[in-house]
Amino acid sequence: MQDVVGQQTVFEHVFKHAPIGIAVVSIEGKWICVNPSVCAIFGYTEEELLRLSAADFIYSDDAAINERFQQELLDGVNLIFEIEKQFMHKNGSPIWTSLHVSLVRDEEDGRPLYYISQVLDITESKSTERKLQESIERYTSLKKYNHDAIVSFSLDGTVINGNVMAERVTGYKISELIGTNIAKLIGEINLHHVLTALEDYSSVENDLNNIRHKDGHKVEVLATIAPIIIHGQNVGFYLIAKDMTEQKKLSIEKEAAEKTNKAKSDFLAMMSHEIRTPMNGVIGMTELILQTNLDAEQHEYVQIIKKSGATLLAIINDILDFSKIESGKSEIVEDPFSIRTTLSDTLNVILPKALEKNLELTTSVTSNVPNMIIGDVTKIRQVLMNLLSNAIKFTPNGAVSISVQVDSLQEQKITLRFAIQDTGLGVSANEVVHLFDPFYQVDHFMTRKFEGTGLGLAICKKLVHLMDGDIWHEHNGEQPGSTFIFTAQFRMMDNPDSGQIVEMDENLKDNQLRILIAEDNEVNQMVLKKMVKKLGYNSTAVLNGAEAIEAIKRHPYDIIFMDIQMPLMDGIQATQIIKESLSSMKIPYIVAVTAHALKSDRERYLSAGMDEYISKPIQMDAVSDIIEKYLAFNRST
């Protein structure tokens, strides 16, 4: 065979057509030759490859390893050494190779002649190996750090392995479990059900609700059974068990706490009702006694009884409201209402307290706030009353203001933002976190100066949450006092009124004066309405000049008290339009109401078409004089 083929021919054929790369390198580390497969592996032509360092193909990257391998080849200890080494392909991608380096010697004297390096491309197998290692590490990490107990077992029930949590749940060391039957943990019946189940293990998991601990007691668990699939074959199972001992304990404690809290709330609600009924009788009787003939001393005593009873009733009402909300008996009752009218009504109630302390009350409602919305007016009024009462209570002097604006508008839902600001005592930073806690009071009960249960803000918080809103406190920066802000969500009306008339008295008689008040500040509006009412007349109020014009179109008026500075349209513009649009017989008597009090101001407003002028602060005598002047003028004409 050797004579027929020839060794040289065989060697040349193998060198050129072998599927593995072959590189021949001199003892000095210089290229001798390379075969086509080496070029294919690295993506270079033969000429390009021969310009690279030949030593890279026979040396390791580790100098110590390289020296040892080379020495072993030269000493004849090893005939070949094998290393894995990473190269860069011509296209820039990394490739992994396995280099098998051998030393060729002279057959006669054994002198080293050259190295032969066989190059295998192992990039794909290396990638597979890396992915497998990553998968193993992920699995190991998952098993090690999982908060659930994991135990693997074979198809005959023999435990294969487990994690640290399995040791905690079962009481056994993993070394004690390996090789034993898992039936010692889950029981023979459950093991039989696992091994005989097809693909749905839900019924088995439902029955497997506890694991037998090493000391004999049962640990309640939430179990999951997962098959171990290798090459498409089921070779075993994972038992994944979550220890439910603490969760069950917490659940029982939570249920007990909820029952206790409900019982407390029901008791408070019942007792508040029982106490409130006779208290109403006490207060009602003191009202009747005050209407009888009493001397000064008796009147003082009855007033004390009345005040004490009212204080006690307020406390009972707070407890009743809080207990109703706590017991879930407070529900949202939605009806159409005017936020401006609600604000006006609330201010009307608290105004006397503000006047007693000589506090300035100001309001601001932005023009884009709809007049009519759908929501729980009672709860809004209660929150406003609580916050405004607190602001007045804790403000010895200065001012209290309330503003309302649109926070967000989405389809048919509108969120309003209310801000109640005062110049009072303020709240320290360490007290803010407790402000909305039940029964918490800023002034300690041993040194307190103000009455109350400490439930007001807690009730406000719960009511606001019922209306899908939030409530919080903000400091006034460098200024004294506090600002309480809350939001509440309402529904828009499908056909809201085009005008924003605050109030319209429909029962005006023909022989009464018809008086219109155009004033954007609710407090000033309310003060003027009350003065007019004290003088024996009804009145209607609007919020700006544009609404005044609309009101004139609907009903004829005799007198208009027209504020000068108002949003949308001021008083001067409104006066000019009214004078131009009505006949002289129907033009009302228009009175300028302004804070400007100079003589030139009066002349300016009268020249603008107004009939009379009064300056703020408004006095009842001035209002009376205006009405008398109009009546006298009317009689003369």
**Is the predicted pLDDT of residue 451 greater than 50, yes or no?**
no
Tell me the mean pLDDT in the region 533-546.
89
* Mean local confidence (pLDDT), 501-530: 69
Bigger pLDDT: 142 or 368?
368
Indicate the pairing of strand 80-88 with strand 94-105.
antiparallel
CA distance linking residue 622 with residue 614, whole number of Å: 7
How far apart, in whole angstroms, are the C-alpha atoms of residue 562 and residue 612?
10
My answer on whether 340 and 470 are in the same domain is yes
Q: What is the chain's alpha carbon radius of gyration, rounded to the nearest angstrom?
A: 47
Judge if 71 and 204 occupy the same domain. no
Asked whether residue 194 is domain-assigned, the answer is yes
Backbone dihedral angles phi then psi of residue 499, each to the nearest 5 degrees: -90, 160
* Alpha carbon distance 243, 203 (integer Å): 19
Rounded Cα distance between 299 and 302, Å, is 5
Stretch among 1-10, 20-29, 38-47, 385-394 having the lowest mean pLDDT: 1-10
pLDDT tens-digit readout, 312-323: 766 666 666 666
Lowest model confidence (mean pLDDT) among 153-162, 252-261, 452-461: 452-461
Residue 498 inside a domain? The answer is: no
Helix (H, G, I), strand (E, B) or coil at 21: strand
Q: Are strands 515-518 and 559-563 parallel, antiparallel or unpaired?
A: parallel
The pLDDT value given to residue 403: 92
pLDDT band at 132 (very low <50, low <70, confident <90, very high): confident
Q: How many distinct structural domains can be found in the chain?
A: 5
Task: Output the 3-class SS for 529-555.
Answer: HHHHHHCCCCEEEECCHHHHHHHHHHC
Q: Which of 209, 243, 277 is the last residue of a domain?
A: 243
4 touches 20 (CB < 8 A): no
Does residue 103 lie within any of the structural domains? yes
Average confidence (pLDDT) over 285-304 = 83
Res. 365: pLDDT tops 50 = yes
**pLDDT attached to residue 126:** 84
The pLDDT of residue 591 is above 90: yes
Strand-pairing partners, residue 567, are: none
Domain membership flag for residue 251: no
Report the candidate in 560, 585, 555 with the shortest Cα–Cα distance to residue 574.
560
* pLDDT at res. 448: 39
Q: Helix (H) and strand (E) counts for the chain?
A: 22, 22
Outline where 214-295 has alpha helix (H): 245-290
Q: Domain holding 113: CATH number? A: 3.30.450.20
CA distances (Å), 26 to each of 86, 103, 308, 398, 626, in order?
A: 22, 10, 114, 101, 123
Q: How far apart are CA 403 and CA 384, in angstroms?
A: 11
**Each residue's pLDDT tens digit, 1-16:** 345 456 778 888 888 8
Between the ranges 394-408, 583-597, 621-635, where is the mean pLDDT highest?
394-408
How far is the first Cα of the chain from the last one, in angstroms, to the nearest whole number? Answer: 148
The residue-averaged pLDDT of 31-58 equals 87
pLDDT of the residue at 502: 41
pLDDT in tens, 164-193: 888 888 999 989 999 999 999 999 999 988
My answer on whether 322 and 347 are in the same domain is no
Q: How far apart are CA 332 and CA 123, in angstroms?
A: 69
- For residue 371, give the amino acid letter: N
Expressed as residue numbers, the domain containing 39 is: 2-123
- DSSP annotation of 238 reads E
Residue 252 inside a domain? The answer is no
- So what's the pLDDT on residue 432? 67
pLDDT digits (tens, 9 = 90+) for 324-348: 666 555 667 788 988 988 888 788 7
Structure tokens at 290: 């005050």
Q: How far is residue 327's CA from residue 605's CA, in Å, rounded to a whole number? A: 60
Query: In the prediction, which pLDDT does 6 show?
Result: 64
Mean pLDDT to the nearest integer, 389-397: 87
The neighbour count for residue 284, using CB atoms within 10 Å, is 11
Range with lowest mean pLDDT among 120-134, 189-203, 282-296, 505-519: 505-519
- Percent of the chain exceeding pLDDT 70 equals 83
Dist. CA 107–CA 300, nearest whole Å = 135
Judge if 181 and 282 occupy the same domain.
Answer: no
| Distance from the Cα of residue 620 to its chain's centroid | 51
Spatial distance between the Cα atoms of 193 and 91, rounded to a whole number of angstroms: 57
| Domain-located, residue 439 | yes
Contact 184, 202 (CB under 8 A): no
Collapse the DSSP code of 369 into the 3-class scheme (helix H, G, I; strand E, B; otherwise coil) and give the result: coil
* 326 or 147, higher pLDDT: 147
**Whether residues 371 and 478 fall in one domain:** yes
pLDDT of residue 1: 39
Longest dimension (CA), the chain: 152
Residue type, 202: S
Residue 137 lies in a domain: no
Going by pLDDT thresholds of 50, 70 and 90, the confidence category of residue 545 is: very high
Which of 274, 300, 326 is the C-terminal boundary of a domain?
A: 326
For 624, list phi and psi in degrees, rounded to 5. Answer: -60, -40
In terms of domains, do 526 and 550 share one? yes
Q: What is the mean pLDDT of residues 369-374?
A: 90
Mean pLDDT of 373-399: 88
Cα gap 626→586, rounded to integer Å: 19
Q: What is the mean pLDDT of residues 531-553?
A: 89
Per-residue pLDDT, 137: 66
pLDDT for residue 469 is more than 90: yes
The predicted model gives 483-511 an average pLDDT of: 63
pLDDT at position 17, please? Answer: 86
Q: 117 and 34, same structural domain?
A: yes
My answer on whether 487 and 529 are in the same domain is no
Give the single-character DSSP code of 54.
G
- State whether 524 and 620 are in the same domain: yes
Cβ atoms 482, 501 nearer than 8 A = no
Specify the pairing of strand 399-410 against strand 413-422: antiparallel
pLDDT of residue 493: 84
Alpha helices in 360-482 (DSSP H): 377-393, 429-432, 456-466
pTM value?
0.41
pLDDT at res. 276: 59
Rounded distance between C-alpha atoms, residue 62 and residue 122, angstroms: 20
Q: 3-state class of 480 per DSSP?
A: coil
Domain CATH for 453: 3.30.565.10
Q: Are residues 304 and 345 both part of a single domain?
A: no
Q: What are the tokens at 105?
A: 């010697």
CATH number at residue 300: 1.10.287.130
For residue range 60-113, list pLDDT tens digits in order: 777 777 778 778 888 778 888 888 888 889 999 999 998 888 888 888 888 888
Provide the pLDDT confidence category of residue 139 given band limits of 50, 70 and 90.
Answer: low
Whether residue 286 sits in one domain with residue 235: no
pLDDT at position 600: 65
Asked if residue 227 and residue 105 are part of one domain, the reply reads no
Flag whether 130 is in a domain: no
Sheet strands (E) in 572-630 = 589-594, 612-615
Q: Edge to edge, what strands does the sheet with 94-105 contain?
A: 31-34, 21-26, 112-121, 94-105, 80-88
Cα–Cα distance, 353 to 351 (Å, whole number): 5
Is 282 exposed, middle or buried (CB count within 10 Å of its CB: 0-12, 13-18, 19+)?
middle
* Residue 548 pLDDT grade (very low, low, confident, very high; cuts 50, 70, 90): very high
| Spatial separation of the C-alpha atoms in residues 347 and 336, rounded to whole Å | 20
Residue 277 is which amino acid? T
- Which of residues 421 and 616 earns the better pLDDT score? 421
CATH code for position 609: 3.40.50.2300
User: Which of 349-353, 426-430, 530-534 has the least mean pLDDT?
Assistant: 426-430
Q: What is the mean pLDDT of residues 500-518?
A: 59
Specify the pLDDT at position 450.
Answer: 43
Averaged over 344-356, what is the pLDDT? 81
What CA–CA distance (Å, rounded) separates 111 from 104?
9
Instruction: Tell me the β-bridge partners of 542.
Output: 518
Domain stop point among 81, 108, 123: 123
pLDDT at 507 over 50: no
